[in-house]
Amino acid sequence: MNFSFWTIKNRGLLLFSLFLGLNASHVFSQDYDDPALGQQPVVSQPQDYKPLGFRAGSFMLHPGVELAAEYNDNVLYSFQDEQSDTIFHVRPYVTAQSNWSRHSFSVRLAADIGRYADFDVRDYEDLFFTVEGRFDVKGRNAVGYRFDILQLHEDLNSRDSEQGIEPTVYQLLGGGLNYDHYFNRLSLGLATEWRQLSYDDVLSEDGSIINNEDRDRDQFVMSLTAGYQFKTDKRAFLTVGFDETEYDQLIDRNGFHRDSSGYFIRSGLDFSITSVLTGDLSVGYHEREYDDPQLQDVDGVGLGAGLTWFPTQLTTVRANVSSSIEDTTNSTASGYFRTLYSLRVDHELLRNLQLNGRLSYADSDYEPILGAPAGSRTQDKVWRAGIGLNYFINRWMFLGASYDFQELSTNVANDGYKVNRAWLILGFEK
């Protein structure tokens, strides 16, 4: 059963987490379409260029650092009067991964220190601590767990909350537990996820303090998945889940009680067609109800997909579709239904030279409150496209360059933006 323990979102929630699921190498090179923080595209080395690390007892350690320069031609993400800047990044990290014959355990410590050449008020320091592992019970049965302590920041491309002069810093404490049990062809999986979000206050442009205490909240999700493997390489599944969000502050800055609860149901197929095409396809329904009668319920039918296609031995194509209901502190909406479509192509020009291209589209439909004024936010559409080149000098050093275009179109007048970003990266890892 595929289960994401938590997600972090640039827009107040999570985002599909920053470096979940990445190997020891290049922990900052998050997935291109992750809403979190908008980092550069993922870097994945060929097997014979992967860092070897060094042994420490029954663990392999991978220390490293990435030095990056990012040029942004609309650093304030504004509709007009665009301002450009260069941001310099220093990203140290260390990963410890067990090499046991059974079970697994890993720890990651990392930081992302960003410094702006001109807009130094936007400087930030993101910090990451992650523990994850697996207990092998019997056969294919296993218990997975995860624990995270993160300090992150919101960028100005977020249109979902009030932004100040400095970045809005927030802390995320989260964890998850899941158990998968196999009865021959039948399988059952139980998963739980919890996260706590705490936002710092920030200074506004007029010198007043933006109080973000009403954004602090706890979120809990539990899901049960039943699967039936009707062929060796095909499995049908059904997932039913429940979620609950509870805010620390009873009433927010707009006079709303935003506590909510909901459920989701998803059905689909896991499959593989030889080794050429693997993945899953599903369709699901999501619904969330709010305690405040002024906040309209949010629901929607969404598609799900995670496909990997190998048209040649040198080319990999990945396609993903995901849908979810997200929280907001927007004064005229209760929440929004978000669907993300993404496509990525990786091709080996040479064994140590990789070319990649990316395309994504995110559609966010906001549910207006009762009596919302005309012109209130009802829909945001974000397009992204990019291309990148990675050159692996040896096992412990690589160079990367990438370009990314992003555009927000929205029904709110003069609130969209277009931005071009370019990256240069030099990475070292033992």
The answer, yes or no, to whether residue 386 has pLDDT greater than 90, is yes
Distance between first and last Cα of the chain = 33
Inform me whether the pLDDT recorded for 89 exceeds 50. yes
Mean pLDDT of 74-86: 94
Percent of the chain with pLDDT over 90: 78
In this structure, the strands spanning 54-56 and 15-16 are: unpaired
pLDDT tens for 121-154 read 999 999 999 999 999 998 889 999 999 999 999 9
**Size (the chain), residues:** 430
Cα 158 to Cα 12: distance, rounded to the nearest angstrom: 8
Model confidence band, residue 158 (pLDDT cutoffs 50, 70, 90): confident
Q: What is the largest CA-CA distance in the chain?
A: 64
Segment 56-63 shows an average pLDDT of 94
Residue 78 clears pLDDT 70, i.e. is over it:
yes
Tokens read off for 111: 């930081």
**What would the mean pLDDT of 236-245 be, rounded to a whole number?**
97
> Taking the CA of residue 187 as centre, how many other CA atoms within 13 Å lie in the half-sphere pointing to its CB?
25
Q: What is the mean pLDDT of residues 80-85?
A: 94
Select, from the ranges 46-55, 159-168, 292-301, the one with the highest average predicted confidence (pLDDT): 292-301
> Which pLDDT tens digit goes with each residue over 174-224?
999 999 999 989 999 999 999 999 999 999 988 899 999 999 999 999 999
The Cα 99–Cα 105 span in angstroms is: 9
Left if phi > 0, otherwise alpha if psi is -120 to 50, otherwise beta: which for 122?
alpha
* Residues in Cβ contact with 211 at an 8 Å cutoff, skipping those fewer than 6 apart: 201, 253
**How does the average pLDDT of the chain come out, rounded?**
88
Which pLDDT does position 36 carry in this prediction? 35
Which residues are bridge partners to 232 per DSSP?
Answer: none
What pLDDT score was predicted for residue 42? 53
Q: What is the pTM of this model?
A: 0.86
Q: Tell me if residue 114 falls in helix, strand or coil.
A: strand
**Those residues with Cβ within 8 angstroms of residue 402's Cβ, 6 or more apart along the chain or in another chain:** 40, 41, 386, 387, 388, 389, 422, 423, 425
HEC states along 34-83?
A: CCCCCCCCCCCCCHHHCCCCEEECCEEEEEEEEEEEEEECCCCCCCCCCC
Quote the pLDDT of residue 2: 36
What's the pLDDT at 49? 83
Cα distance between residue 51 and residue 53, in whole Å: 6
- Give the percent of the chain with pLDDT over 70: 90
- Among residues 35, 32, 30, which one has the least CA distance to residue 12? 35
Q: How far is CA 404 from CA 38, 140, 418, 420, in A?
A: 10, 41, 11, 6
Banded pLDDT at 159 (limits 50, 70, 90): confident
The residue-averaged pLDDT of 48-58 equals: 88
Who has greater pLDDT, 172 or 15? 172
